[in-house]
Structure 1
Amino acid sequence: MAQFDYVIVGAGPAGCVLANRLSADAGASVLLVEAGGADTSPLIAVPRGFGELLGDPATAWHYPTRPFGPAQRVEYWVRGKTLGGSSSVNGMVYNRGQRADYDALAALGNPGWGWDDMLPVFRTIEDNALGASELRGAGGPLQVSTSDGGDPLLEDVITAGTELGWQRAQDLNEADEERIGYTIATIRDGRRVSAAGAFLHPVMDRPNLTVALRTSVDRVVLEGGRAVGVQGRQDGQSVEYRASREVILSSGALATPKILQLSGIGDQATLAAAGVGIVVDSPNVGARMREHRAFLMQFRLTEDIGYNRLLGTPEGLEQAQAEYRATRGGPMGAPSSDIGGFFKTRAGLDRPDGQLQIAPYSLLPHQPGKAIEIEQEPGIMCIAYMLRPDSEGSVRITSADPDAPLDIDPGYFATEHDRTTSAEVLRAVRRLFSTAPLSERISHETVPGQEVRTDQEIIDAGLATGSCGYHAIGTAAMGPDDEDVVDSRLRVRGAAGLRVVDASVLPVMISGNLNGPVSALAWRAADFILGEA
């Protein structure tokens, strides 16, 4: 039985940061456990390779949800299954969220998590190609960049946004007002920058750092009220690792509550129904989950421009791949969305409550478990969602068997606030696409279609043709009260030596994509862990 000071479960955007920071102490032994394999797929480095990676069970988990919506649709929530976790398979969009998000964390009774605490963390971890500023970092391990732009179609998108009063932003992270611009992405020189590439691989040769691949953790070992290790399986064989200082769960908002519940930490009724004995009564493990419900909007173009003509046929795709191999540029060198925007759904709001991401291609209907496919007719797509939903879902185990499926209740649109705001998000996107000069490029809306008009029709369309944002949070949320799963230092209540460091600890939704914020969260958590060592 191997013994370490720290056992970190999950090598995603949080786990890679923790492995880097904690192993910097040569006197501390660190084990990083990853259920997937090494990040050796050549597609990981190719930015637009994400479409293949997301559909491949070798590089991504596919978690089915409960049926939802009028059609009782089952959706598959995808998470990375390789070193780097979801940062190795995602769309690479890098948003930090808004100042008020972090100040809200502190206001809820979590000191040390306000914007004034977190901005220095972001500046420390970033290496922004635009250079350093008071709000931007340079020289850090996580490289981010933005395209130079210049595509006429995309320029028309940005110009239309400015006609609506949105500011054109060179760096979408520098301010919190309504804005639109080219996406900041975890890409440098045409190659993806995953958390593994930024934080883990540069320190893999440290003698005090061990990485266990293809190792799924089934439960935390608790003795006398303390976490002393983990049990799991490596290549099908039982393994157990002991931790003399801490076990740290960094498996994300779906897998972390699963491990906690299988370990006997959770809601009494949930555990009893699954046949798991209770060790710590923590009713909000797996509860309070929030997730973005993203609307897919697509428009047919009046001319044969955009990427469909390249990416929608085998011949065109080969041409795009050849361009990428030669230059590291072209469609294959871009993030999932070329343009991002943040906007207010109604006047009088103090900050944007909607986000959009636009790419000059359009999709065929997605088949679960398969690669994303591009239409051949010219089109443009937009993913849009309200930033701060207050509807809550949940993640619960269904059995003591670690291989049994989870019960994931998305909880979409449970509140009037979410339904009304989301309908206005879609209408705001329509205003953008009906504004010149972009409107002159548009033939008609194909998804969901102009016939979708009322709030209820919009919500139904969002449930039928939209997707999750892959931004679930809150399933082991921090807070000052006894019913909060972790405290403000992310220590699990009722279990000494056990900490959670990932998106599940967030009690409020970050206003944007989570990849960057989770790495920053882990960097901040490492400060607390090292301060207690």
Structure 2
Amino acid sequence: MHDYLIIGAGSAGCVLAARLTEDPDVTVCLVEAGPADTHPNIHTPAAFARLFRTRLDWDYDTHDEPFLNRRRVFLPRGRVLGGSGSMNAMAYTRGNPLDYDEWGQPGWAYDELLPYFRRSEDNERGASRYHGVGGPLSVSDNRSRNPMSQAFIAGAVQAGFPANDDFNGPEQDGFGFYQVTQRDGRRCSTSTAFLRPALDRPNLTVLTNVQAHRVLIENGRAVGVTGQRLDEEITLRAGREVVLACGVYNTPQLLMLSGVGPADTLTKLGIPVVTDHPHVGRNLQDHPMVPMIFTHSHPISLLAAGDPENVRQFTEEGRGMLTSNGPEAGGFARSRDGLPAPDLCFFAAPGMLADSGLGTPTHHAISFGGAVLTTRSSGSVTLASADPTAKPKILHNYYADESDLDVAVAGLRIGLEIARQPALKPYVEEVYRAPDSESDADLRAYARADTQSIFHPTSTCAMGAVVDADLRVLGVDGLRVVDVSVMPSVGRGIPNASAIVIAEKAADLLRGVPAPLPDNAAAAPLTDKAVPAV
């Protein structure tokens, strides 16, 4: 028996296990359904899409999306130590301060979370009001900086948008390069940053290739889990608490398999109801993105990443094209006047990123587009079967609220305006995938036909509905959720950063450690080393 069972060794689970075992008197068992993160494509940033639909990927899809011409949308999720942080695009961008404040949960306002963000960071730009040094997580400037990425930023500035060299600084609006979770040009997931240095601790046990099937709940209290390791049925017990960190799709699935969820659904599947919890699996949110692709004749795209010189630069120097995180550049913009913060996020990649990253590149190309940040549409995760090895039924319901489609169309207009700028002229020689015209009808049709997930799902076990502000599952003792499913809304950032800070705060909640004093100097100037704008 261990004090804590943490189910899921993703971005949050690795942080939580490492932080809790800093106390030698606390024992932790971290359980991961997939294997160790040893595959070379995990650690080679430009190769992340090669992990899709492999054994390291849960390989989910939505069910037929009713407002996307009944298409199914690919949803990769990491099934490996580090979770989706071992196969994401590594861009490190927190939510807008308004996001955390609007959650309305005690202890979760931006000023209260900022000390945790700083605590986790080892930012190569140095310490400041907004950034930390000496933390486990390496946050660095992108070492690739492809000419096309620089041209995209210059084109955005030519189109009238401000330059921004730090989306985690005093202002989110503007265009620039994303900082990335990399160390010496290689991926720095929370498995690399937090878990690996803790593996020699005698109070930490890490079990891989174990899929949890059900939380054991006795007399209203979670006391362990049952699951399967390869072909062996196993039971693990917790002396203090069970913590679910399985992610936005698998956490609600596991809760429902354990009898915690909507009673009508569970009863129909023959699952005994422990707690009737109608909100489990509801409120699913994401950032729908509408990409465009332009081809050209310049041999500088990621199509050339495997050339011998690029391989040599990466292996010997930790730099060059193979350090590219894909969407190297981008920015935040507002679809209309009067908004309190951006509602669009742009991503630009120096390559042909077609079909949700599943397409095979055939030309040198640049891909870019906008993602809707403040979605009003929401979907659900439900059980398709009582069999714990069956995939859950996922419906994102993209554009169920017509206003989200309006924002997506505004993003297409902004993207096309940037594409017309002189800086991008060499790289938009031919249209590979873009709207037929700029009429409202064509833009809306293109959005419905080409929208994909940017892989930012959240909110299926939201604070205030499924868990309380201390992340305890309402109605079940000894059970918490620590992952981005607890976010009440998806917000205006990239959720991986929020996953890490949720786990940092959760560690203090579990340890009974007082939270750091909130930093209320939100308007204080940056003291980072200056980074030239493009």
After TM superposition, is the score higher than 0.5? yes
Q: Does 1:220 align with 2:205?
A: no
Partner of 2:59: helix, strand, or coil? strand
Q: Does 1:346 align with 2:336?
A: yes
Aligned to 2:520: none
Q: Does 1:231 align with 2:226?
A: yes
What is the one-letter code of the residue matched to 1:334? Answer: S
Partner of 1:16: helix, strand, or coil? helix
What is the one-letter code of the residue matched to 1:510? Answer: G
Choose from 463, 466, 478 the match for 2:451.
Answer: 466
Cα deviation for residue 363 of structure 1 reads: 3.3
CA distance in 1, matches of 2:4, 2:183: 32
Q: Does 1:137 align with 2:137?
A: no
Deviation per CA, 1:335-360, whole angstroms, max 9, x where unpaired? 12111211111122221111011112
Cα deviation for residue 512 of structure 1 reads: 1.9
**Taking structure 1 as reference, are residues 62 and 332 closer, same or farther at Cα in structure 2, changes over 3 Å only?**
same
Cα deviation for residue 169 of structure 1 reads: 2.3
Q: Does 1:395 align with 2:381?
A: yes
What is the one-letter code of the residue matched to 2:63? Answer: R
Q: If the length of structure 1 is used for normalisation, what is the TM-score?
A: 0.92
CA distance in 1, matches of 2:438, 2:57: 33
Cα deviation for residue 208 of structure 1 reads: 0.7
What is the one-letter code of the residue matched to 1:230? Answer: V
Partner of 2:24: helix, strand, or coil? coil
Aligned to 2:320: 330
Q: Does 1:4 align with 2:2?
A: yes
Cα deviation for residue 437 of structure 1 reads: 2.4
CA distance in 2, matches of 1:452, 1:275: 52
Deviation per CA, 1:239-283, whole angstroms, max 9, x where unpaired? 111111100000000000000000000011211222211110110
Choose from 302, 306, 309 the match for 2:300.
Answer: 306
**Does the CA-based 8 Å contact 1:10-1:32 persist in structure 2?**
yes
Aligned to 2:60: 63
Aligned to 2:461: 476
Cα deviation for residue 11 of structure 1 reads: 0.1
CA distance in 2, matches of 1:361, 1:246: 46
Cα deviation for residue 373 of structure 1 reads: 2.5
Q: If the length of structure 2 is used for normalisation, what is the TM-score?
A: 0.92
Aligned to 2:262: 267
CA distance in 1, matches of 2:313, 2:436: 37
Gaps of 5+ in 2: 515-534
Aligned to 2:34: 36
CA distance in 2, matches of 1:433, 1:28: 55
CA distance in 2, matches of 1:163, 1:448: 21
RMSD value over aligned CA atoms?
A: 1.9
Partner of 1:446: helix, strand, or coil? strand
Deviation per CA, 1:182-226, whole angstroms, max 9, x where unpaired? 111111211110110011000111101101110000110000000
**Taking structure 1 as reference, are residues 365 and 96 closer, same or farther at Cα in structure 2, changes over 3 Å only?**
closer
**Does the CA-based 8 Å contact 1:308-1:375 persist in structure 2?**
no
Aligned to 2:361: 374
Q: Does 1:512 align with 2:493?
A: yes
**Does the CA-based 8 Å contact 2:153-2:330 persist in structure 1?**
no
**Does the CA-based 8 Å contact 1:149-1:155 persist in structure 2?**
no
Per mean C-alpha deviation after superposition, the further-off stretch among 64-73 and 117-126 is 64-73
Cα deviation for residue 286 of structure 1 reads: 0.4
Aligned to 1:423: 409
Choose from 10, 15, 18 the match for 2:16.
Answer: 18
**Does the CA-based 8 Å contact 1:186-1:192 persist in structure 2?**
yes
What is the one-letter code of the residue matched to 1:14? Answer: A
**Taking structure 1 as reference, are residues 305 and 345 closer, same or farther at Cα in structure 2, changes over 3 Å only?**
farther
Aligned to 2:504: 523
Choose from 120, 129, 132 the match for 1:125.
Answer: 120
What is the one-letter code of the residue matched to 2:437? Answer: E
Identity %: 37
**Does the CA-based 8 Å contact 1:93-1:336 persist in structure 2?**
no
**Does the CA-based 8 Å contact 1:95-1:513 persist in structure 2?**
yes
Cα deviation for residue 228 of structure 1 reads: 0.6
**Does the CA-based 8 Å contact 2:259-2:266 persist in structure 1?**
yes
What is the one-letter code of the residue matched to 2:35? Answer: G
**Taking structure 1 as reference, are residues 462 and 274 closer, same or farther at Cα in structure 2, changes over 3 Å only?**
farther
Partner of 2:52: helix, strand, or coil? helix
Q: Does 1:81 align with 2:76?
A: no
**Does the CA-based 8 Å contact 1:62-1:76 persist in structure 2?**
yes
Gaps of 5+ in 1: none
Cα deviation for residue 439 of structure 1 reads: 3.7
**Taking structure 1 as reference, are residues 510 and 42 closer, same or farther at Cα in structure 2, changes over 3 Å only?**
same
Per mean C-alpha deviation after superposition, the further-off stretch among 154-163 and 413-422 is 154-163
Partner of 2:397: helix, strand, or coil? coil
Choose from 450, 460, 466 the match for 1:485.
Answer: 466
CA distance in 2, matches of 1:499, 1:365: 36
